[in-house]
Amino acid sequence: MGGKTVGHDSPAGDLRLANLTKRFGIFTAVDDLSLTIPQGSFFALLGASGCGKTTTLRMIAGLEEPTSGQVLLGDRDIARLRPYKRPVNTVFQSYALFPHLDIFENVAFGLRRRGIRKVDDQVRRMLSLVQLDGYERRRPAQLSGGQQQRVALARALINHPQVLLLDEPLGALDLKLRRQMQIELKRIQIEVGITFVHVTHDQEEAMTMADTVAVMNAGRIEQLGAPADLYEFPATPFVASFLGQSNLIAGDAAGASGGDIGVSAHGARFSVPAGRARAERGPVFLGVRPEKLHLVDSAEQVPAGHQHVPGVVTDASYVGVSTQYLIRTAWGSELSVFAANSGAGRPAAGRRPGGGVLGPAARLPAAPRAGRERPHLAAAG
Ligand code: ATP
């Protein structure tokens, strides 16, 4: 297929996916996806294995042809340009460095391929950007995994792509190095100002780095927004459970009154501020994060204005930063409660399974209850 190369240095504009669909036979991997990624932003596609995020990335890169839909960069549809004609570079989990070339030549590769002879300054600037000054003459095998990933990044960035695609780039690194590289990647993105589109199944990674996170499920976007917004006010039970842990209680909303929505669940009545509800009437899930539940020993200790659920501690796991409790409720399902080991107040580890407790729940958000979705707590009961 013909088509001109889009200038790598010309202004890019936003990256827009318009009704992008990919089918493999009768299976739809990406289902009518539409979204806009603002120029210069750090965008994460987050989802479980098989949800279609890599296929989406590959369509942006030109490694997979869409069944239908557009990939627009600014006003230009690049969906049918060959990969090398797109102002897009990809960094993969496998670094794919050339083992026989030293680090300098690995980074210089893209420039040399374009016939550029004077590469010294640019290569050194890139190595400095990824903090690998002095490693020019080493071979990839003489570097650690994190260092090799930095070389892969420098090799992509030297081409001045308008969009950098990152496909689980930190997947092969150990946890500590991953955390370090997340901060590093964010710094580099801010410094170069290029649009980064990052694919990951690691919610912490997406939330640490991205300005905007799109949670994907079965080829579609469930919710898109700033990490804190997704975490604090998830739109669906899937997002609530995928992004961190959530207690979801199936109930029925009875409409708004005085700024609150009344919800009945398992014979109890709760209220939710209307601003934190996505549905006013009908079947809903009440969602509350484990760290927002607090344990007290008796109903008298529940602070005024808080709501509570009676239950019994069935498990306490000390995980260092917090102690994580499972509370069996009167209706049989379990709620998770995280108590920070902050050193303040009664030691959390002092609570033992078997004790009668109450968990007061403040600020319960409600999400609409879709027909097929089941709360993970209800399923346990
Ligand atoms: P992972 O994190 O495991 O890579 P993903 O979300 O990136 O998962 P994709 O690689 O995009 O998922 O795959 C989405 C779905 O499309 C999967 O069910 C996968 O089996 C299917 N799929 C991907 N490529 C092909 C192909 N070439 N032929 C048939 N099915 C495919």
User: Which pLDDT tens digit goes with each residue over 253-286?
Assistant: 998 888 889 999 999 898 888 888 888 899 999 9
Q: Is 369 helix (H, G, I), strand (E, B) or coil?
A: coil
- Gyration radius from the chain CA atoms: 25
Q: Which residue has the higher pLDDT, 370 or 50?
A: 50
Ligand 1 close to Cβ of residue 360 (< 6 A): no
Residue written as token pair 């993105």: 189
Give the pLDDT band (50/70/90) at residue 305: confident
State the pLDDT at residue 344.
67
50 lines ligand 1 (CB under 6 A): yes
H or E segment and range at residue 101: none
d(C-alpha 296, C-alpha 232), whole Å = 24
Take atom 30 of ligand 1 and give the residue whose Cα is closest. 24
Hey, which of 17, 23, 24 would you mutate to test ligand 1's pocket, going by the most ligand atoms within 8 Å of its Cβ?
24
- Give the per-residue pLDDT at 249: 92
**pLDDT tens across 221-236, in order?**
999 999 999 999 999 9
Q: Which of 21, 30, 46, 51 to mutate to test the pocket of ligand 1 (most atoms within 8 A of CB)?
A: 51
Position in ligand 1 atom list of the atom nearest CA 51? 6
Confirm or reject: Cβ of 65 under 6 Å from ligand 1.
Answer: no
Mean pLDDT computed over 16-32: 96
Would the CB of 57 count as within 6 Å of ligand 1?
no
Distance 306 CA to ligand 1 centre (A): 45
DSSP structural state of residue 4? P
Q: Verify whether ligand 1 is closer than 6 Å to residue 51 (CB atom).
A: yes
CA–CA distance, 277 with 285 (Å, rounded to integer) = 10
* Residue 53 near ligand 1, beta carbon < 6 Å: yes
For residue 276, the 8-state DSSP code is G
pLDDT for residue 357 is more than 50: no
Report whether pLDDT(52) > 50: yes
Nearest to 184 by CA among 169, 200, 163, 167: 169
Q: What are phi and psi of 320, to 5 degrees?
A: 85, -80
200: Cβ below 6 Å to ligand 1? no
153 touches ligand 1 (CB under 6 Å) = no
**CA distances from residue 287 to 72, 80, 97, 234, 365 in whole angstroms, order as listed:** 37, 43, 46, 9, 5
User: Average pLDDT for residues 288-303, to the nearest whole number?
Assistant: 88
Question: What pLDDT, in 10s, does the model give residues 185-212?
Answer: 899 899 889 999 999 999 999 999 999 9
In the block, tokens 């109450």 appear at: 358
Q: Does residue 327 have its Cβ closer than 6 Å to ligand 1?
A: no
% of the chain surpassing 90 pLDDT: 55
The pLDDT of residue 370 is 33
Q: Is the CB of 55 under 6 A from ligand 1?
A: yes
Going from the Cα of 314 to the center of ligand 1, the distance in angstroms, rounded, reads 39
219 lines ligand 1 (CB under 6 A): no
pLDDT for the residue 380: 23
Whether the Cβ atoms of residue 112 and residue 159 lie closer than 8 Å to each other: no
pTM: 0.82
